[in-house]
Amino acid sequence: MGSAVKPVHERLPVALRQLIDRLWLVANSVSVRVKILGIVLGMVLLLGGSITWQVRVALETALERELQSRAVSITRDVAARSVDLLLINDLFRTHQLLGDTLENNPDVRYAFIVGPDGEVLAHTFEGGFPPGLIQANRAAPTERHRLQLLATEEGHIWDAAVPIFDGRAGTARVGLSEANLRRTLDSVTWQLLLTTVVVSLVGVGAAMLLTWLITRPILDLVRVTRAVAAGDLSQRAPHRTDDEIGTLSLSFNAMVHDLAEARRASEAVQAALREKEAARGELLEQIIAAQEEERKRVARELHDGAGQALTSLMVGLKVLSGLRTPEEIQSQIGDLRGIAAETLEAVRDLALELRPSVLDDLGLAAAIARYAAECQRRFNLRVDSRCVGFDGRRLPPAVEAALYRIAQEALVNVARHSGARQASVLLEWNDGAVRLLVEDNGRGFDPVAPGRERKLGLYGMQERADLIGGRLHIESEPGVGTLVVVEVPVPTAHDQLSHFP
């Protein structure tokens, strides 16, 4: 099996990878403004350098071709004009011709004519003819011309050789220097570089203005973001432009506004939760105390009522065992039967107070109707009770128990605190929900700031409603009366519960 192919980055030398990682780390650590300035400056320098290099190469090629063409043209002119002079062996005028050629063409560094036997007939060198120059470029008689680039102390020289009269009169040689060409190239290059520098400065200035316009809203966003991260949700990012950054600022401000609203709502919820927890603690204490009081009462009822009745039964039975006549026995049995009936009635009343059996046997509607009648008897309060939409249907036991206790608590509050003469209870099953309404014509109260006892009673009803997924709503004003509304959603499956006969 061959080795796994490594990424290109891992195949680089270690030193090069470390250099790339270091450059990448530096690039990531600088600000956006420096990055934009670097990109603009790099692009300007890259563009200017590439244009300068391309122009220099193209210009150098063109000038070299033009210089080569001029060298051939000048050499051909010298060869054509020197034919007659060489045929008549007029070397003086031949020297003048070469001198005029050198004087009229600044790029020509030398000119000379070589005879057919290789002898230099005329030349323009003042310090003597350089050795080896003749062999540097030789044109065959069949060639129209021959060019050769020579490296000399003065630089590169294009040496052109043109046969005179098909080589029978000799060869004309002219050398053109590249000095002017190089000076021209250097001059154009420096001008292009200067233009690049000027353009770079202008580009840097424009980039600084651009980065200032771009980064100013970004820096504002960074400042506001840090303030928001520190918990100050009152800060807002300035909306300076209508571009994407301006849209981002608006969106950020909307988000901060939503966060502030959410914080206020959360604080309100937390305050309500703290208040509710405190009330729940008080309610729990009251419930525990009420349970203990209820247990004491039940114990007293059992001791004082059932206990004494059972004691009387025991004494009566003992007396019964000592009677002799049938009349006395029948009389004693009648007394004992009366004591047993009273005891049974007392135990039954006590059981009904703890848990009404009608709630388990007949359901919520019947239990509330019976409790309304009981309140009317016990508290001298007129209570109208009405149930709608049940048609023999039953709610889950937990829902029935919770609604019954809420109705019980509401009616007890009406009887003890409202001073009402009349109350009404409406139990309605409609549109997938059960609604319980308890209304009175009492003195009413302020639901926002109720007393401690009433506050705990309201929290108790609220807790029961929350446990069965219901909503409790209380409407009350001083002197108007009170309306307690409980609404509990009932799933469709509950509509299919068993009907009681």
Neighbours of 370 (CB within 10 A): 16
Q: Quick one: pLDDT band at residue 177, thresholds 50, 70, 90? A: very high
Pairing of strands 471-477, 170-177: unpaired
Q: What is the mean pLDDT of the chain?
A: 80
pLDDT over 70, % of the chain: 84
One-letter amino acid of 413: N
Backbone angles phi, psi at 36, to 5 degrees: -65, -45
145: Cβ–Cβ under 8 A, 6 or more apart, which residues?
72, 75, 76, 139, 160, 161, 162
Query: Per-residue pLDDT averaged across 275-298, rounded?
Result: 67
Q: Is 426 helix (H, G, I), strand (E, B) or coil?
A: strand
Query: Which residues, listed in sequence order, are joined to residue 173 by a DSSP beta bridge?
Result: 112, 161
Instruction: Tell me the three-class secondary structure of 359-421, residue by residue.
Output: HHHCCHHHHHHHHHHHHHHHHCCEEEEEEECCCCCCCCHHHHHHHHHHHHHHHHHHHHHHCCC
Pairing of strands 422-430, 382-388: parallel
- DSSP letter assigned to residue 185: H
The side-by-side arrangement of strands in the sheet containing 170-177 is 120-123, 108-114, 170-177, 155-164, 146-152
Record the tokens describing residue 260, joined without a space: 């502030």
Which residues are within 8 A (CB) of 208 and not within 5 positions of it... i.e. 6 or more apart? Answer: 33, 37
Q: Which single residue is written with the structure tokens 């530096």?
A: 26
Q: How far apart are CA 113 and CA 117, in angstroms?
A: 11
Enclosing H/E stretch for 188: helix 179-229
Phi, psi torsion values for 486, nearest 5 degrees: -125, 130
| Torsion over CA: 471, 472, 476, 480 (sign) | positive
Lowest mean pLDDT among 79-88, 239-248, 324-333, 345-354: 345-354
Q: Which residues are within 8 A (CB) of 213 and not within 5 positions of it... i.e. 6 or more apart?
A: 241
Question: Which residues make beta-bridge pairs with 81?
Answer: none
Instruction: List, for residues 190-236, the tens digit of each pLDDT value.
Output: 998 898 888 888 878 887 887 777 777 777 777 888 888 888 878 88
Q: Which amino acid is at 380?
A: N
The rounded distance, in Å, linking the Cα atoms of 225 and 231 is 10
| Residues 411/482, Cβ–Cβ less than 8 Å | no
Summarize pLDDT for 382-414 with one digit per residue, the tens. 888 888 888 878 888 888 888 888 888 888 888
Question: Is 0.75 topped by the overall pTM?
Answer: no
Work out the pLDDT band at 73, boundaries 50, 70, 90. very high
**SS3 at position 202:** helix
Number of residues that this document lists for the chain = 501
Tell me 307's DSSP state: I
| pLDDT computed for residue 355 by the predictor | 62
pLDDT the model gives residue 246:
77
The phi and psi torsions of 475 (rounded to 5 degrees) equal: -115, 125
pLDDT interval class at 5 (50, 70, 90): very low
| Dist CA 395 CA 286 (whole Å) | 29
Is 414 in contact with 440 (CB distance < 8 Å)?
yes
